[in-house]
């Protein structure tokens, strides 16, 4: 799907963005027939509302977009995306929107046209926008393309998005941007010392693999690690049906990292990029790994398996260990890792962990600037003992149910070495339709991270 702005067209319909308390003053400056039409239509400029105003010949002279008030806007984002879906087909030009809201609303307008139509015909919004003056159209189109890639990958069911299909999507991305992709598959994982990735994926018909994408020749090295569990049954600790229904999204970390990589490469950021994706299915078969098993990781740490449904941290552990061997300037993992994170902050916030205050500050600022909300959780060192079972170096599923997102993050940090490291525990799914964010797969934290990278890596 291509999400683009309309070409600049002098015939584009003027779309006046109107706060509720400014409507009366605006009407007072218009021709009597215009103000009469607005009054007769009972238009109040409520947030997300719209109104077409006819010309003397019955055509469209202009349109109004309700922008509500500050209190209403604080309860959401991408407000004009709702206007975009309510307007008829045509090309529109924004008038009156504050400069500091132009990028957010223009991007939201682009994303309002996203649909997932692989299996059934959909009806995207047909109102197109001329990119506002002063906004970098190519940049926003590239960001929208990365987000659309993430959504497409998450929305595709596991039958068509197994480890092999995730590899194919990654290869397509590499080819499109001149990147190099190497893949380690099946028993080659054992030979190459990725025992945990092999362990989790060995029971599935579609063989496990590690995808390793590299791009760029100069600049700081950024390593992105995404959890690619293409479907998670829970393994021998089988999930109930209600918990399994959305497990096609358990590769949401990988999908988000690929979307972010698409943005980075498309924008030509001056850095070296490495993307590592352990792509597996956590299946049930006679050779599935078992509760109580102990395995040695790539780093040499032993892990006791106390729940086969805590498999994401296992595959990430080997990938993080590999990434750390390259001594990147920054390593970031992204995963749909724990229900605890979802319970703590809900589906709209991307929880993240870092020990570097400057990185947290940069990310928080960028998140506010680009309307991609994040929330910092702590690498709380006193909880380290909770992931130490005694019989092995680490426990993949501490008992008790306390601080599940934090103990998972602490587990992953054990494999990041001395590298500057940040971890996101995302949900990757929008349960209810919202402006520019239809129900289904969604990127979380990627745009915030993209916005923070120049400061974090001194680009």
Give the burial string for 377-402 (b: 16+ CB within 10 Å, else e).
Answer: bebeeebeebbebeebbbbbbbeeee
Report, as an integer, the average pLDDT of 185-194.
98
Report helix angle 163-177 to 252-267, nearest 10.
10
H-helix or E-strand containing 295?
Answer: strand 294-296
Report, as an integer, the average pLDDT of 281-295.
98
Report, as an integer, the average pLDDT of 34-47.
96
The model's confidence at residue 19, banded by pLDDT at 50, 70 and 90, is very high
Closest by CA to 408, choosing from 329, 266, 344, 313, is 313
* pLDDT at residue 168 tops 70: yes
pLDDT digits (tens, 9 = 90+) for 141-154: 999 999 999 999 99
Note the pLDDT of residue 125: 87
Q: How far apart are CA 352 and CA 378, in angstroms?
A: 8
Note the pLDDT of residue 244: 96
Within 291-403, where are the H helices? 312-325, 339-345, 357-370
Query: Chain-wide mean pLDDT for the chain?
Result: 97
Q: How far apart are CA 216 and CA 269, in angstroms?
A: 9
**Listed range (2-16, 224-238, 310-324) with the worst mean pLDDT:** 2-16
Q: What positions carry a catalytic annotation? A: 239, 313
Give the burial string for 265-277 (b: 16+ CB within 10 Å, else e).
Answer: bbeebebbbbbbb
Note the pLDDT of residue 1: 62
Question: How far apart are the two ends of the chain, measured CA to CA in Å?
Answer: 30
pLDDT digits (tens, 9 = 90+) for 76-91: 999 999 999 999 999 9
Q: Give 228's strand partners.
A: 279
3-class secondary structure, 184: strand
Percent of the chain with pLDDT over 90: 97
Note the pLDDT of residue 423: 98
Report, as an integer, the average pLDDT of 12-25.
97
Report, as an integer, the average pLDDT of 224-245.
97
pLDDT digits (tens, 9 = 90+) for 99-109: 999 999 999 99
Token look-up 């109107």 returns 18
* pLDDT at residue 2 tops 90: no
Whether this model's pTM surpasses 0.95: yes
Note the pLDDT of residue 58: 87
pLDDT digits (tens, 9 = 90+) for 211-227: 999 999 999 999 999 99
Note the pLDDT of residue 364: 98
* pLDDT at residue 401 tops 90: no
Report, as an integer, the average pLDDT of 298-315.
98
Note the pLDDT of residue 394: 98
* Domains of the chain by start residue, with CATH: 13-126 (3.40.220.10), 141-456 (3.40.630.10)
pLDDT digits (tens, 9 = 90+) for 408-451: 999 999 999 999 999 999 999 999 999 999 999 999 999 999 99
Note the pLDDT of residue 123: 87
* pLDDT at residue 124 tops 90: no
């Amino acid at each position: 799907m291509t999400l683009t702005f309309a070409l600049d067209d002098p015939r584009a319909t003027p779309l006046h963005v109107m706060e509720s308390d400014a409507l009366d003053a605006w009407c007072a400056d218009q021709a009597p027939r215009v103000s009469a039409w607005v009054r007769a239509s009972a238009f109040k400029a409520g947030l997300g509302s719209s109104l077409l105003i006819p010309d003397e010949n019955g055509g469209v002279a202009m349109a109004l977009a309700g922008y509500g008030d500050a209190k209403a806007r604080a309860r959401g984002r991408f407000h004009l995306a709702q206007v975009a879906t309510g307007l008829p087909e045509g090309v529109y030009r924004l008038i009156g929107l504050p400069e500091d809201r132009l990028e957010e609303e223009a991007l939201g307008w682009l994303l309002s046209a996203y649909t997932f139509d692989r299996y059934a015909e959909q009806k995207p919004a047909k109102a197109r926008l001329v990119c506002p003056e002063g906004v970098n159209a190519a940049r926003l189109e590239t960001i929208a393309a990365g987000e659309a890639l993430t959504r497409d990958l998450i929305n595709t069911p596991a039958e068509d998005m197994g480890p092999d299909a995730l590899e194919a999507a990654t290869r397509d991305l590499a080819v499109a941007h001149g990147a190099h992709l190497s893949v380690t598959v099946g028993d080659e994982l054992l030979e190459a010392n990725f025992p945990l990735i092999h362990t989790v994926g060995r029971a599935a018909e579609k063989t496990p693999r590690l995808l390793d994408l590299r791009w760029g020749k100069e600049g700081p090295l950024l390593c992105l690690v995404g959890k690619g569990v293409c479907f998670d049954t829970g393994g021998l600790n089988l999930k109930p049906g209600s918990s399994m229904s959305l497990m096609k999204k358990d590769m949401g970390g990988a999908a988000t990292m690929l979307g972010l990589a698409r943005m980075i490469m498309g924008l030509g950021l001056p850095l070296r990029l490495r993307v590592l994706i352990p792509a597996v299915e956590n299946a049930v078969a006679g050779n599935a790994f078992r509760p109580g098993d102990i395995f040695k990781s790539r780093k040499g740490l032993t892990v006791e398996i106390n729940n086969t449904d805590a498999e994401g941290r296992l595959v990430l552990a080997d990938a993080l260990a590999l990434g750390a061997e390259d001594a990147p300037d920054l390593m970031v993992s992204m995963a749909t890792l724990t229900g605890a994170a979802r319970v703590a902050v809900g589906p709209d916030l991307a929880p993240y962990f870092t020990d570097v205050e400057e990185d947290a500050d940069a990310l928080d600022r960028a998140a506010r600037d680009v309307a991609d909300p994040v929330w910092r959780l702590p690498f709380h060192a006193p909880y380290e003992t909770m992931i130490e079972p005694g019989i092995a170096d680490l426990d993949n599923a501490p008992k008790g149910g306390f601080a599940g997102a934090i103990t998972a993050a602490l587990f992953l940090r054990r494999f990041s070495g001395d590298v500057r490291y940040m971890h996101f525990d995302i949900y990757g799914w929008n349960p209810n339709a919202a402006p520019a964010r239809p129900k289904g797969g969604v990127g979380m934290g990627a745009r915030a991270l993209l916005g923070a990278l120049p400061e974090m890596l001194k680009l």
